[in-house]
Chains A and B, each alone.
Chain A
């Protein structure tokens, strides 16, 4: 019974708490409240990650201190940065393609935020659990590419245009391997439903005395895990794959012309995408919210896992050179795709033999 409540999507439980009944109106309000909770949680994490954690982590890698003047560990820089960024002038360059240029940052941020709807975060925080949850995440996350092209094309700037085109090329190169690797996980679970995928990883893989290693797919199929990590780096556009932005080459790529609030939205979208990538990795390969201790602290474990993925992206960013766009396409189509297919066939054979 406990598990059932734990697994129940968040809005259904909110319905019980709110005085609006379980009619259409009550369900809608509950869904909004649930979305607000998840959204706020993710935005807060982004606020910590963007102005503060990113600086601190990069500084640690590069032998510096970074922000340390405002508040404990410089944490209040988050407030200062928010005020600074939001109070800047929103410069609209001549000749931008207005609706598209304005919409692009919103599309970027929204596509990442929407993805969290189906992620089971533990402690009962799970907005929706459709049967096609995994497909939904990939589909929604890919909409970001549309946003990138809109931003690049509508900016009336050649550096933006190059960045937008690079973003599309990169997207095509990683998206297919990314999905194929995810499919290999689906072969194990036999379900696209996120809660099922998490539940399938709860079984112990091997038990060595008191220590029991769970059947997380990172342990079951480490090869797929590593491939997915790399493909995910491509998706979030961090070194060695930060090609669409490539500050030293094309200034800032698609985001060159954005300032103030739009700039914040674009950055928000980027960080949300990193966290969404972390959430998908945690769900598919790291047992979702699973971890030692009672199930009620599942959220803590889940956050630990996605922050670990975040740290990994920052590490790569500090230490690795950037590939060239043609080299990235080669890596994507000639390397990742082949390996992803091999992984898929191998998994299919193993699953077929066992089952």
Chain B
């Protein structure tokens, strides 16, 4: 069920027959562009001159098949600034390569990657905003998270956090242009601020909209209202204990354990920590429970956007999500901010009596098919719903890849990527389940993908429960032996992603030999998915804009971090 060409494509440059990356071939491909090689924990990276970024990225994309710019990390060293482009392939995300672009500390300017990968637009704006690197040739070099009037770049070394910065209302009002005719009095279009306070923006999102009648002439999401310095807070916290509670607060709508896993996986790779198999099974089960929670919420709020007021679907979705929340509460002691994973395992074992817990989970799984049928009767088979959602908010697969879309948004466009299968971690490899894709590329497909993924998650949970129930009592090791103070090797760098509810949630960390990371960068799937909004909605109607926004299933806490 994929739109991609099924024929066995010829191998890319630098791809070995085993499906790994031959970095020597890539170095040869880059030729003189590659100044140096760096070994990161996840992949090799090539150092490139700041004015040859596009040349290098073009070669890697067109010749070597790296069609997925997963993340852009910017950071400041004592002697230089650095932008790292983390490249992957949609066909095989285990094939990774980094492109490191050092720039001088005095007025750092680097060539933009935006013409090569559209998604770099927002990533580079964020790098400019928080770290202070300017990107030459960037179409829209503005701050993205902080207000336009902000002084300094918070993750730069010369930033003074003590200096109070008050952004008065008139400055805040600045992006809220008066609702007036677009482009002067003669224009036929109308400018409309949708948000930051609007019933359907799923948080504080501001969408600058230009309307031609009811049709969308232009939209521009304006984000940053919920920026909480999550990266900075993680940089000030210790690997071993202090960082883990934060991921729960990124995508805070019950996807907590999925987020925690992103940090756990990156940190475990960085510090080379093993995780006992038993803990991996528990992690897999709890993560999938979170995924069901998150998809139920996405379904309910999408129904809210399309149906109108508080409707039956919304309440049904919440009712069923509640059951999962109760299970998670039994397991972790929390309903929202779980803080359940630990480096090297999980916090504690299945609660005693174990049989009761397993029965609770099995009861939920047994009731799920009936509920799924109910949802399909109420939602997807409703003709009005189909008229509203089929062929609206279209996102062709090529566009989705250009924007670095992942998760249900990419899979709803027929892009067959799922890190649980393609870049296996946890216990997923041992279990029997399928990756769901739909070819419609529209709002309807994205809803279908989420609904079917709930069923797949249920399959995974069922197998995990069976495994856990039969696990020998003396082999139930929930944590490996991890030093109390964790100090990974100095200058070790890692970028690792997991399949969170909304797509690839990646963490970049650089260690400087202390017990806190020198740079902690979050690659948020919602951030990249939201970037596609303009492509999806141009020329469509206001209600379709709302539906498309709902189908992206963004959580502003994760977009803004």
> Which A residues lie at the B interface, using CB under 8 A?
58, 61-64, 157-159, 162, 239-240, 242, 246-251, 317-327
With the chains together, A319 CA to B311 CA distance in Å? 6
For B319, what are the chain A residues with a Cβ–Cβ distance below 8 Å?
63
Q: Is A248 in contact with B305, judged by CB distance below 8 angstroms?
A: yes
Q: Which residue of A lies closest to B191 (CB)?
A: A158
Query: What are 20 A-B pairs at a CB distance below 8 A?
Result: A62-B311, A62-B316, A63-B315, A158-B192, A239-B307, A239-B308, A240-B384, A242-B308, A248-B199, A248-B305, A248-B306, A249-B543, A317-B309, A318-B312, A321-B384, A322-B308, A325-B214, A325-B543, A326-B214, A327-B387
Contact of A321 among B307, B316, B541 (CB under 8 A): B307
Q: How far is the CB of B44 from chain A (nearest CB, A)?
A: 48
For A251, what are the chain B residues with a Cβ–Cβ distance below 8 Å?
198-199
Is B69 at the interface (CB under 8 A from chain A)?
Answer: no
Q: Is B541 in contact with A326, judged by CB distance below 8 angstroms?
A: yes
Bitwise, B188-211 to A at CB < 8 A (1) or not (0) is: 001010000011100000000000
Q: Which residue of B lies closest to A157 (CB)?
A: B179
Contact of B315 among A64, A246, A250, A317 (CB under 8 A): A64
For B544, what are the chain A residues with a Cβ–Cβ distance below 8 Å?
324
With the chains together, A240 CA to B385 CA distance in Å? 10
Q: Is A319 in contact with B312, judged by CB distance below 8 angstroms?
A: yes
For A318, what are the chain B residues with a Cβ–Cβ distance below 8 Å?
311-312
For A319, what are the chain B residues with a Cβ–Cβ distance below 8 Å?
311-312, 378
With the chains together, A162 CA to B384 CA distance in Å? 22
Is B382 at the interface (CB under 8 A from chain A)?
Answer: yes
For A247, what are the chain B residues with a Cβ–Cβ distance below 8 Å?
199, 308-309
For A58, what are the chain B residues with a Cβ–Cβ distance below 8 Å?
309-310
Bitwise, B285-304 to A at CB < 8 A (1) or not (0) is: 00000000000000000011
Chain B contact residues (Cβ within 8 angstroms of A): what range? 20 to 34
The 8 closest A-B pairs by CB, nearest first: A62-B315, A248-B200, A321-B385, A321-B384, A321-B307, A324-B543, A158-B179, A322-B308
Besides the contacts A322-B306, A322-B543, what 9 more A-B pairs have beta carbons closer than 8 Å?
A158-B179, A239-B307, A239-B311, A248-B200, A248-B308, A249-B542, A250-B542, A251-B198, A322-B384
Q: Is B306 in contact with A321, judged by CB distance below 8 angstroms?
A: yes
With the chains together, A159 CA to B542 CA distance in Å? 11
For A159, what are the chain B residues with a Cβ–Cβ distance below 8 Å?
192
Q: Is B305 in contact with A62, judged by CB distance below 8 angstroms?
A: no
Q: Is B384 in contact with A248, judged by CB distance below 8 angstroms?
A: no
Q: Is A322 in contact with B200, judged by CB distance below 8 angstroms?
A: no
With the chains together, A68 CA to B243 CA distance in Å? 44
For A327, what are the chain B residues with a Cβ–Cβ distance below 8 Å?
387-388
Bitwise, B530-543 to A at CB < 8 A (1) or not (0) is: 00000000000111
Bitwise, B111-131 to A at CB < 8 A (1) or not (0) is: 000000000000000000000
For A321, what are the chain B residues with a Cβ–Cβ distance below 8 Å?
303, 306-308, 382, 384-385, 388
Beyond A240-B384, A325-B214, whether A320 also contacts B198 by CB under 8 A is no
With the chains together, A250 CA to B541 CA distance in Å? 12
With the chains together, A248 CA to B305 CA distance in Å? 6
With the chains together, A231 CA to B304 CA distance in Å? 24
Beyond A158-B192, A248-B546, A317-B308, whether A323 also contacts B388 by CB under 8 A is yes
Contact of B541 among A239, A322, A324 (CB under 8 A): A324
Is B314 at the interface (CB under 8 A from chain A)?
Answer: yes
Q: How far is the CB of B545 from chain A (nearest CB, A)?
A: 8
For B314, what are the chain A residues with a Cβ–Cβ distance below 8 Å?
62
Interface set, chain B 91-126, CB cutoff 8 A to A: none
For A62, what are the chain B residues with a Cβ–Cβ distance below 8 Å?
310-312, 314-316
Q: How far is the CB of A332 from chain B (nearest CB, A)?
A: 14
Q: How far is the CB of B36 from chain A (nearest CB, A)?
A: 53
Q: Which residue of B lies closest to A62 (CB)?
A: B315
Q: Which residue of A lies closest to B545 (CB)?
A: A249
Beyond A320-B307, A325-B541, A325-B543, whether A249 also contacts B384 by CB under 8 A is no
Bitwise, B316-329 to A at CB < 8 A (1) or not (0) is: 10010000000000
With the chains together, A64 CA to B307 CA distance in Å? 18
Q: Is B311 in contact with A246, judged by CB distance below 8 angstroms?
A: no
Q: Which residue of B lies closest to A320 (CB)?
A: B384
Beyond A158-B190, A322-B308, A327-B387, whether A63 also contacts B541 by CB under 8 A is no
For A158, what are the chain B residues with a Cβ–Cβ distance below 8 Å?
179, 190, 192
Q: How far is the CB of B189 from chain A (nearest CB, A)?
A: 12
For A61, what are the chain B residues with a Cβ–Cβ distance below 8 Å?
312
For B388, what are the chain A residues with a Cβ–Cβ distance below 8 Å?
321-324, 327
For A250, what are the chain B residues with a Cβ–Cβ distance below 8 Å?
542
Q: How far is the CB of B210 from chain A (nearest CB, A)?
A: 12
For A322, what are the chain B residues with a Cβ–Cβ distance below 8 Å?
306-308, 384, 388, 543
Q: Which residue of A lies closest to B305 (CB)?
A: A248
With the chains together, A68 CA to B303 CA distance in Å? 27
Contact of A162 among B309, B387, B542 (CB under 8 A): B542
With the chains together, A28 CA to B173 CA distance in Å? 57
Q: Which residue of B lies closest to A245 (CB)?
A: B308
Q: Is A320 in contact with B382, judged by CB distance below 8 angstroms?
A: yes
By CB atoms of chain B within 10 A, which of A251, A317, A318, A319 has the most?
A: A318
Q: How far is the CB of B536 from chain A (nearest CB, A)?
A: 16
Q: How far is the CB of B322 from chain A (nearest CB, A)?
A: 11
For B316, what are the chain A residues with a Cβ–Cβ distance below 8 Å?
62-63
Q: How far is the CB of B401 from chain A (nearest CB, A)?
A: 29
Q: How far is the CB of B254 from chain A (nearest CB, A)?
A: 19
With the chains together, A239 CA to B309 CA distance in Å? 9
With the chains together, A63 CA to B214 CA distance in Å? 35
For B190, what are the chain A residues with a Cβ–Cβ distance below 8 Å?
158
With the chains together, A324 CA to B389 CA distance in Å? 10
With the chains together, A319 CA to B542 CA distance in Å? 22
Q: How far is the CB of A20 from chain B (nearest CB, A)?
A: 48
